[in-house]
Amino acid sequence: MHAPKAEVKSKQAIYTGRIITVEVADVRLPHGATTRMEVVRHPGSCVIVPMPDREHVILVRQYRFPVDRFLWELPAGTLKPGEDPEAGAVRECAEEIGLVPTVVEPIGKFFPSPGYCDEFMMLFRMSGLRPPGPGDPVAHQDEDEHIEVRTFPLDEARAMVTSGEIADMKTAMALAMLSGLPR
């Protein structure tokens, strides 16, 4: 049996940007209330957990304008229209850390902010990392990216979440998920 869904009375895109679209919708919610909702539409993203070995993880540090801070986080990126999430993850790995994985394992998926955004994140553990070679696509960082790449012991990265040094939710979630996975 399927749960009831909201009934959309009207909706309007009020902003369309490079990555997101913002909609305003008048809806009747499953329990009967009618309200106006603001929704950020996002094409989805992939989060990469690059592990050069079982005890280390590669993080990137970059400036994030919305929070006006430099953050340590796992590499991630927006999927291109119609792009397979695993292929997008491999592309982002090459673009952000300059390495190509030989092993790609899906480890989870989630909605990071379902109260206002439909973005769906898919997480992939990547190992067997190697420099790009002949036949690999040429990867370039996005124009707005200036990324510092660093390898951390997994225990240190987890401690950075606890101390608040890592304040990025997708990174905290992925590092927590790793503890339940076979190494």
Annotated catalytic residue within 143, 145, 148, 156: 143
Beta strands in the chain (DSSP E): 7-16, 21-28, 34-41, 45-50, 56-64, 69-73, 76-78, 103-110, 121-127, 148-153
CB 89 within 8 A of CB 126: yes
156 annotated active-site: no
Short-list 145, 150, 179, CA closest to 165: 150
Write the CB contacts of 60 (distance below 8 Å, at least 6 apart in sequence): 72, 73, 74, 75, 96, 97, 147, 148, 149, 150
Give the pair of three-digit tokens for residue 61.
């540090």
Give the pair of three-digit tokens for residue 112.
């990071």
Helix ranges (DSSP H) in 49-153? 85-97
List 106's β-bridge partners, or say none. 124
The catalytic site residues sit at 143
